[in-house]
Amino acid sequence: MEARDLRSQKTIEGARLREQLAAAKDMLMETATDAGHVHARIEAMKTERLEAERYGSVSSR
């Protein structure tokens, strides 16, 4: 294989890897955002439950 062909192949491979990395970063950001929303909802539900227990709306287990 000629050096020019090898460089071209490596350039294409590098571009593919950069695309894959960008896609992985996007998925990671989406996952982190979703996790943040889930965490916030759990905290809100904990607060709601504590308030309900405080006012006797929910029986203790």
Q: Is the pLDDT of residue 49 over 70?
A: yes
Average pLDDT over residues 42-60: 88
Rounded distance between C-alpha atoms, residue 22 and residue 32, angstroms: 15
- The CA distance from 34 to 56, in Å, is 33
Q: Phi and psi (nearest 5°) for 33?
A: -65, -45
The rounded distance, in Å, linking the Cα atoms of 22 and 55 is: 50
Which of the two residues, 10 and 58, has the higher pLDDT score? 10
Is residue 60 predicted with pLDDT exceeding 60?
Answer: no
Q: Render pLDDT for 1-39 as a digit per residue (tens, 0 to 9).
A: 688 898 999 999 999 999 999 999 999 999 999 999 999
CA 36, CA 3: separation in Å to the nearest integer?
49
